[in-house]
């Protein structure tokens, strides 16, 4: 192979052409080869197998934190009501009070429902439990 031919072959490779056989026929590359497609699918598989569980864990942790903040906010209003009125309120009285929560009652972001513990007079979520107890 002389120098000029070698230079042509290199130029063709750089421009994305594939050299076939001894007669130096070339064809334009269309799309991915099956090996390249398999490699890309493998990389996507590895990334998604680690990223998706991580994402679900982050969302779950964020929902847990927002729910606890909402319960703390409701508990504070319950305690303020008790100090002002010398008795504990019904939960609905606090949640439906537009002066306390002008943007609407705080909710559990995971769809849990709040109920008032009759002994501790603190709110608890049907999914996340009460503030001072561990999630089961």
Neighbours of 74 (CB within 10 A): 22
Residue whose CB is less far from Zn ion, 108 or 116: 108
Candidate residues 67, 94, 116, 123; the one interacting with Zn ion per rule CB under 5 A: 67
108 contacts Zn ion (rule: CB under 5 A)? yes
Compute the distance between CA of residue 53 and CA of residue 56 in angstroms, rounded to an integer: 5
125 contacts Zn ion (rule: CB under 5 A)? yes
The region that residue 95 occupies, defined by phi over 0 for left and psi between -120 and 50 for alpha, beta otherwise, is: alpha
Residue whose CB is less far from Zn ion, 86 or 134: 134
112 contacts Zn ion (rule: CB under 5 A)? yes
Residue whose CB is less far from Zn ion, 94 or 128: 128
For tokens 């990334």, the residue is 47
127 contacts Zn ion (rule: CB under 5 A)? yes
Compute the distance between CA of residue 47 and CA of residue 54 in angstroms, rounded to an integer: 11
71 contacts Zn ion (rule: CB under 5 A)? no
Residue whose CB is less far from Zn ion, 67 or 78: 67
Provide, for the chain, the percentages of residues in helix, strand and coil under a 3-state DSSP scheme, each rounded to the nearest 5.
50, 10, 40
Strands 123-125 and 114-116: antiparallel
Strand partners of residue 20: 25
Residue whose CB is less far from Zn ion, 95 or 108: 108
Candidate residues 89, 94, 124, 128; the one interacting with Zn ion per rule CB under 5 A: 128
Choose one: 8-16, 31-39, 72-80, 126-134; the region binding Zn ion (CB under 5 A): 126-134
Q: Where on the chain is the footprint of Zn ion (CB under 5 A)? A: 67, 108, 112, 125, 127-128
């Amino acid at each position: 192979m002389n120098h000029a031919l070698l230079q042509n072959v290199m130029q063709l490779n750089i421009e994305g052409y594939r050299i076939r056989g001894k007669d130096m026929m070339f064809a334009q590359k269309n799309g991915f080869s099956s090996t390249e497609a398999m490699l890309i699918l493998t990389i996507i598989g590895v990334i998604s197998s680690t990223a998706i569980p991580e994402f679900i864990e982050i969302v779950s942790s964020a929902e847990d934190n927002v729910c606890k903040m909402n319960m703390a906010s409701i508990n504070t209003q319950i305690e303020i009501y008790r100090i002002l009125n010398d008795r504990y309120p019904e939960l609905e009285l606090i949640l439906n009070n537009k002066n306390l929560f002008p943007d609407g009652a705080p909710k559990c972001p995971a769809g849990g429902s709040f109920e008032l513990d009759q002994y501790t007079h603190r709110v608890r979520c049907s999914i996340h439990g009460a503030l001072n107890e561990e999630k089961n």
